Amino acid sequence: AELRPPDPSRRSYGSDDIAEVGWNVPTVVLRYPGNIPGMIGHHWSSSIAMATPIAHKGSTAGAKAHAMTALDLLLNPALLEAAKQYFAEQTKETKWKSLIPVDQKP
């Protein structure tokens, strides 16, 4: 098969720390307009940009979406159960295991 270059519209230079969470419980990532498009994540320039009024508006809209999603899950047990079933189906053949030994001390 021919190796194609990555789609530039899907590039991301940041990292996240939800891997352990996302492999153990159903996880939702909501993205909202809280930063300058194309800005590098986890960079000092992103922190500065987040101090602007437009970023505050985007972050407020994102917080509302998070809260409404949580309410939907709390008020609709069938929706929560469907998420759990979907998660179980998606992860049934691949289980996450920490790379840190159980007896490892900090």
Q: Where are the domains of the chain?
A: 11-91
Those residues whose C-beta lies under 8 Å from the C-beta of residue 31, and which sit 6 or more positions away, are 62
- 75 touches 39 (CB < 8 A): no
From the list 4, 35, 25, the residue with the least C-alpha distance to 14 is 35
Those residues whose C-beta lies under 8 Å from the C-beta of residue 77, and which sit 6 or more positions away, are none
Alpha-carbon gap, residue 57 to 54, rounded angstroms: 5
Tens of pLDDT along the chain (106 residues) come to: 788 887 877 766 556 677 778 888 888 777 777 777 777 777 888 888 888 888 889 889 989 999 999 999 999 999 999 999 999 999 999 888 888 888 998 8
pLDDT of residue 7: 81
pLDDT of residue 71: 96
